[in-house]
Amino acid sequence: MNLTRRSLIARSSLLMPGLLSELMAAEDPLAAHRSHTKAKAKRMIMIYATGGVSHIDTFDPKPMAKGRDGTGKERLMGNLFGSEPNKNCGAEVSGIFPHVRGVMDDICLIRGMKASHFDHSEATLGMHTGSPTFARPSMGSWISYGLGTFNQNLPSFIVICPHLPYGGTQVYGSDFLPACHQGTRVIPGDTPIANLRTPSSSKDLQPMELDLVSKLNQKHFRERPHDTALAARIKSFETAFQMQQAAPEAFDISQEPEHIRKLYGLDRKLKGAGADFGWQCLVARRLAERGVRFIELIDTGSRPNWDSHGEMNEHADLARNVDQPTAALLIDLKQRGMLDDTIIFWATEFGRTPTREGKNGRGHHRDCFSVWLAGGGFKPGHVHGKTDDIGKYTIENPVEVHDLHATILHQLGMDHEKLTFRHAGRDFRLTDVHGRIVTDLLV
């Protein structure tokens, strides 16, 4: 008798639980998978600041420097906004991030990051995909592929962004991984996901239409049982229907008590994209609660973004919009007991020069910049790496992007050398042929 995988699973009662789980996962690409090792974190929220945040004016503040750099040509410019230490861990943070400074004792700060490129799009793709030059799956897609999801009624990977960042949709694309692992874009507003609600005129017909589509899809798939792209596409359609029930409730922050909305700054009157960032952070927490594996919040994508070539005072306005909601997300997760098994990752594509550009701006700087992580087994209140007196070079404990990706995967229970996908005749992975786990970052 010629049994398919599905009929084998249905008929067999002798399979070991682990093998049964793996076979079921093969049938359903979004089923929750077993990790390679014991995971410290179950999920991840990435906060991405588009444009290149100045480390010198934020998380690696340098005193007001005067004079010229070692070449004698460039005019030095130190931190413009003052700084203070966190009262518990002593980490020095700029005056434009007072709320985040208040939670630095929960944050693992990396001051020695090195960017993969000095241009926006390439560095953005490097941070997201590990490859600044070639199309590759995003980190969120790799994590979805490796671990699946807890909630079949929502995508495993959701991206909340009012405007696309440098690099466009590739920052959340799945490339050669199955299509169901691509990020689903959400736009803050009255309709976060377009065409999600069923028109009232179609409600009676929809069950019959979906039943017919399902039967045709399954017939098509039975004739092509080894076509993983087809299976993933069918799964995407199924998830889209399930989202009609689950997503509106997940995005409805009116269910939150007033004190929680106030915590995220949603009682403030803000203009532009920044007005949505409190909503983004609160919805991220709601999605994490509901089993979404990877959530990315993109700030902001529009101009002005953090690319302050002409005027560094733009940084103060941008920070004002995101500071309170970012800190609130950590506080909220912690008080709900979720921070321990949730990784919060704040990043940008590169830093900015210690020298002045134009009247009062800074240029792109790839040699050192700052990112931070919280929760998920990362060491709280820890500062890793050190830059020189003007913030130009890393002089202690540099971290490459591949190292960071390897460490994040490790905390999620995945071996970055084993998380692979066969494509074009060879095995690919997020860290390519590089990457080391930075154990000093971990508890």
The pLDDT assigned to 200 comes to 60
Q: Is residue 1 part of a domain?
A: no
Element (H, E) at 334: helix 314-335
Closest CA to 156 of 294, 326, 342: 294
Cβ burial of 266 (10 Å; 0-12, 13-18, 19+) is buried
Q: Which residues face 346 on adjacent strands?
A: 47, 372
Q: Is residue 332 part of a domain?
A: yes
**Can you read off the two tokens belonging to residue 151?**
């909630």
The pLDDT assigned to 196 comes to 62
Distance from C-alpha of 382 to C-alpha of 438, rounded to nearest angstrom = 13
Q: Is residue 379 part of a domain?
A: yes
The pLDDT assigned to 229 comes to 64
Distance from C-alpha of 201 to C-alpha of 214, rounded to nearest angstrom = 21
Q: Is residue 403 part of a domain?
A: yes
Q: What is each CA distance from 158 to 44, 68, 107, 311, in whole angstroms?
A: 11, 45, 23, 33
**Can you read off the two tokens belonging to residue 241?**
């229907």
Distance from C-alpha of 147 to C-alpha of 155, rounded to nearest angstrom = 13
Indicate the SS3 state at residue 152: coil
95 within 8 A of 83, measured Cβ to Cβ: yes
Domain count, the chain: 1
- Model's pTM, two decimal places? 0.87
Distance from C-alpha of 62 to C-alpha of 101, rounded to nearest angstrom = 16
Cβ burial of 171 (10 Å; 0-12, 13-18, 19+) is buried
Q: Print the domain residue range for 35.
A: 29-192+251-441
Indicate the SS3 state at residue 369: strand
Distance from C-alpha of 365 to C-alpha of 392, rounded to nearest angstrom = 8
CATH number of the domain where residue 335 is located? 3.40.720.10
Distance from C-alpha of 162 to C-alpha of 273, rounded to nearest angstrom = 7
Q: Is residue 96 part of a domain?
A: yes
The pLDDT assigned to 198 comes to 61
Task: Count the Cβ atoms, other than its own, within 10 Å of residue 61.
Answer: 25
Q: Is residue 212 part of a domain?
A: no
The pLDDT assigned to 203 comes to 61
Q: Is residue 75 part of a domain?
A: yes
Q: How far is CA 114 from the centre of its chain?
A: 18
Show the low-confidence residues of the chain (pLDDT under 50).
1-3, 6-25, 271-274
The pLDDT assigned to 265 comes to 92
**Can you read off the two tokens belonging to residue 337?**
């007991």
Beta pairing, strands 394-396 & 369-374 = unpaired
The pLDDT assigned to 1 comes to 43
User: Could you report the per-residue pLDDT of 85-116, keeping only the tens digit for each?
Assistant: 999 999 999 999 999 999 999 999 999 999 99
Q: Is residue 411 part of a domain?
A: yes
N-to-C CA span, the chain: 54
The pLDDT assigned to 10 comes to 42
**Can you read off the two tokens belonging to residue 115?**
């960017």
